[in-house]
Amino acid sequence: MSALYEIVPNISEGRDAGVVDACVGAVGAAGARVIDRTSDETHHRSVITAVGTRAAVLDASVALAGAAAGRIDLRRHRGAHPRIGALDVLPFVALKDATLEDAASLAREAGARIWETHRIPSYFYGAAASAEHRRLLADVRRGEFEGLTARIQDPGWKPDVGDGAHASAGAIAIGARPILIAFNIELESGDLGLALELARRLRERTGGLRTLRALGLRRGEIVQLSFNITDVEATPIYRIVELVRSLAGERGVALRRSELIGLVPRRALQRTAAYYRGDDDS
């Protein structure tokens, strides 16, 4: 049996369905199986989930980079979510008969092929990172597209592949990681300061939950907490929900709704369902 991988590319387009359709089509036509897609107009961003063999996800990544670059111009792009590229993030995940290092090797090969084919530079993050200060996606993306050209002049932040930002497509953060859960909670509030405060209190790097990444974002008239759970065993979904409920409740704010983006391990859903049923979640 061939090894199986997942890619979860994020593109900087969430409003033009035709552009998203073309990008999704490029992934499928290259041989990967698209199993989920989600678009958000406020974030101006879409997330595609696809699976396939090593060759299939590699070809799909190169094809998607070209499709996105040909249709998305970041010089005219404005959205709530931080981004450095038209194809902004491209993580590789080993699903079957493959290791995290296999996924990292695949990420590096994708960066090289995308540069050769489309002249779009890449930064490697996560398990594919070339240096410790590039390991976290938030650090790679700091300054966003608008600050990319100036940042590349810093010797510590030259791209891992390529020698300058693409004029309209920017750069791509390409990484390798274990399976994670992308999870959002909306608050019954338009107070962005509150969302930023809660994200700061909850994320790992500022003293919160182990393995949790968190952003506070505006979404129309309300605000949202956007989470990446990078260790699905260490941090249950229900724990995040109840902490947000408690912290927001201290300010008199209720939760509005929550949503999952892409695939979620069954075990994670079972644990949260067991918690709310009052069962043992072990």
For strands 172-176 and 181-187, give the pairing: unpaired
For helices 237-249 and 192-202, give the axis angle rounded to 10 degrees: 130
Instruction: Examine the pLDDT at 1 and tell me if it is beyond 70.
Output: no
Mean pLDDT of the chain: 95
Sheet holding 222-229, edge to edge: 212-219, 222-229, 181-187, 255-261
Grouping H, G, I as helix, E, B as strand and the rest as coil, residue 262 is coil
Instruction: Examine the pLDDT at 23 and tell me if it is beyond 90.
Output: yes
Instruction: Examine the pLDDT at 281 and tell me if it is beyond 80.
Output: no
Q: 32: which 2 tokens?
A: 């990967």
Question: For position 116, what pLDDT does the model report?
Answer: 98
Question: For position 210, what pLDDT does the model report?
Answer: 87
Distance of CA 219 to the CA centre of its chain: 17
Find the distance separating the first CA and the last CA of the chain, reported in whole Å.
Answer: 32
Question: Is 191:223 a contact under the CB 8 Å cutoff?
Answer: yes
Instruction: Examine the pLDDT at 282 and tell me if it is beyond 80.
Output: no
Mean pLDDT of 20-27: 98
Which of the residues are catalytic?
Answer: 81
Q: 269: which 2 tokens?
A: 């859903």
- Percentage above 70 pLDDT, the chain: 99
Give residue 78's identity as a one-letter amino acid code.
R
Question: Is 93:9 a contact under the CB 8 Å cutoff?
Answer: no
Nearest in space to 20 (alpha carbons), one of 43, 38, 4, 1: 38
Question: Is 64:9 a contact under the CB 8 Å cutoff?
Answer: yes
- Domains, in order of start, for the chain: 4-176 (3.30.990.10), 181-277 (3.30.70.670)
Instruction: Examine the pLDDT at 257 and tell me if it is beyond 90.
Output: yes
Q: Tokens 């041989």 appear where?
A: 31
Question: For position 2, what pLDDT does the model report?
Answer: 86
Question: For position 280, what pLDDT does the model report?
Answer: 65
Q: Tokens 């010089």 appear where?
A: 75
Mean pLDDT of 8-37: 97
Question: For position 223, what pLDDT does the model report?
Answer: 97
- Rounded-to-integer distance, Cα 44 and Cα 144, Å: 14
Lowest mean pLDDT among 97-101, 137-141, 226-230, 231-235: 231-235
Global pTM? 0.87
Lowest mean pLDDT among 16-25, 81-90, 209-218: 209-218
Instruction: Examine the pLDDT at 211 and tell me if it is beyond 80.
Output: yes
- Rounded-to-integer distance, Cα 266 and Cα 264, Å: 6
DSSP E strand boundaries for the chain? 4-7, 10-11, 33-40, 45-52, 87-96, 122-126, 172-176, 181-187, 212-219, 222-229, 255-261
Q: Write the pLDDT tens digit of every residue in 98-115.
A: 999 999 999 999 999 999
Question: For position 263, what pLDDT does the model report?
Answer: 83
Q: Write the pLDDT tens digit of every residue in 139-192.
A: 999 999 999 999 999 999 999 999 999 999 999 999 999 999 999 999 999 999
